[in-house]
Homo-oligomer: A and B are copies of this chain.
């Protein structure tokens, strides 16, 4: 039995980064860059008007003849005398002879000429070439998470493909003779199998869209055979059930016989103690407890960070939360507790119904409140750490 912090460290040390691939920027949301990106162009690529107004060469003059127009998208490099200006719009090319744009609200204009009422300073409202980024400057360092803003920025530089870390292929193996698929008739002694659909959904929340689900009866031969295939073709393997010490729990044996290296078994926590973590080559195996709430707790605490590590995420992308407790908490177990909780802008409430078999509470929680094993008491009003799960 190991401590939670040790378990986290061992998983992190074994969560190697996935291989990389080229991907269209349009498909790259929530991937992590595996390369440094430099800008192929100056942005803006030409001197751009920042306003709707008039472009002219800044002198002491206030009156100018209008000799042309520059719309966004035009490239008519109109020649301007010192007494001349052009009508110009936001984003449009500023002629080489002009150095300043006056916003239209600051001039009195008729069809042929303007009188500048409020003279802007020289260079006003002209975005210089490369103001946003210069050619060959760094756009993003490697390991940057690709957000909507990052996609927009890459696209505005004309970049259409990037190198990213692949997403891991994931599989779920469900064990248990007592399980019946939802939609079937529930015979006596049986319960509906819900962990696979729950874990599939949990994987979706961290970007794994498709997960293969396999089901086996509680026996060594079937479990071993299923695992052999699954281990070959996947980067993350989740196993639901069959890992406690009961005589009918074959999973650990089937894993060891498939040359999965045991990295730890059992963690000093509640819920979620009976968990096996191992690896074969770079494939990670999490044999999760069969109780749904335990299984999902360990998904959030251990599996999700491992998947994100493999995808190249940095921890910084999602900070833990700190909130003030709405009630006292006692911890007489000597174990780390993960309590289903609900936080708001400032506080956190521990929810009723923390039993490991119960998902009701989990469904209305937005966080797991962490009570470390060496903490016997938290007092109302004290600040505590949460892992958000919303």
Partner of A73, one of B87, B131, B189: B189
The distance from the CB of A7 to the nearest CB of chain B, in whole angstroms, is 21
Q: Is A160 engaged at the interface, CB distance under 8 Å to the other chain?
A: yes
A188–B46 contact, CB under 8 A? yes
A296–B244 contact, CB under 8 A? no
CA distance A176 to B46 in the complex (A): 17
- Interface residues in A112-138 by Cβ distance below 8 A to B read 127, 131-133
Q: Is A277 engaged at the interface, CB distance under 8 Å to the other chain?
A: no
Q: Is A170 engaged at the interface, CB distance under 8 Å to the other chain?
A: no
Q: Report chain B residues within 8 Å CB of A144.
A: 363-364
Secondary structure call for the A interface: loop
Q: Report chain B residues within 8 Å CB of A160.
A: 182-183
Partner of A296, one of B46, B50, B148: B148
A202–B132 contact, CB under 8 A? no
Per-position binary interface string of chain A over residues 244-277, scored 1 when its CB falls under 8 Å from any chain B CB and 0 otherwise = 1111100000000000000000000000000000
A71–B290 contact, CB under 8 A? no
Q: Report chain B residues within 8 Å CB of A355.
A: 132
Partner of A189, one of B74, B152, B177: B74
Residue of chain B at shortest CB distance from A177: B73
CA distance A133 to B363 in the complex (A): 14
A390–B317 contact, CB under 8 A? yes
A290–B90 contact, CB under 8 A? yes
A71–B29 contact, CB under 8 A? no
Q: Report chain B residues within 8 Å CB of A46.
A: 188-189
A149–B73 contact, CB under 8 A? no
A151–B197 contact, CB under 8 A? yes
Residue of chain B at shortest CB distance from A321: B345
Q: Report chain B residues within 8 Å CB of A382.
A: none
Besides the contacts A45-B186, A72-B177, what 4 more A-B pairs have beta carbons closer than 8 Å?
A92-B178, A150-B363, A152-B292, A321-B345
Closest 9 pairs between A and B when the two form their complex, measured CB to CB:
A152-B198, A75-B189, A73-B178, A73-B177, A149-B362, A155-B194, A156-B194, A72-B178, A153-B359
The distance from the CB of A119 to the nearest CB of chain B, in whole angstroms, is 21
- Stoichiometry, as copies per complex, reads 2
B188–A290 contact, CB under 8 A? no
B292–A192 contact, CB under 8 A? no
Central interface residue in A127, A177, A365, A385, by most chain B CB within 10 Å: A177
A152–B359 contact, CB under 8 A? yes
- Interface residues in A47-70 by Cβ distance below 8 A to B read 48, 50, 52
Q: Report chain B residues within 8 Å CB of A343.
A: 319
Partner of A156, one of B156, B192, B218, B364: B192
Partner of A186, one of B41, B93, B131, B139: B41
Partner of A205, one of B74, B148, B153, B158: B148
Residue of chain B at shortest CB distance from A132: B358
A198–B148 contact, CB under 8 A? yes
Q: Is A157 engaged at the interface, CB distance under 8 Å to the other chain?
A: yes
Per-position binary interface string of chain A over residues 228-239, scored 1 when its CB falls under 8 Å from any chain B CB and 0 otherwise = 000000000000
CA distance A293 to B45 in the complex (A): 18
A29–B189 contact, CB under 8 A? no
Q: Is A333 engaged at the interface, CB distance under 8 Å to the other chain?
A: no
Q: Report chain B residues within 8 Å CB of A21.
A: none
What are 19 residue pairs bridging A and B, where the CB atoms are less than 8 Å apart in the complex?
A29-B204, A45-B190, A46-B188, A71-B178, A72-B218, A73-B176, A73-B218, A87-B247, A132-B358, A147-B201, A148-B199, A148-B201, A149-B359, A149-B362, A152-B197, A154-B194, A156-B192, A158-B183, A158-B186
- Interface residues in A10-28 by Cβ distance below 8 A to B read 25-26
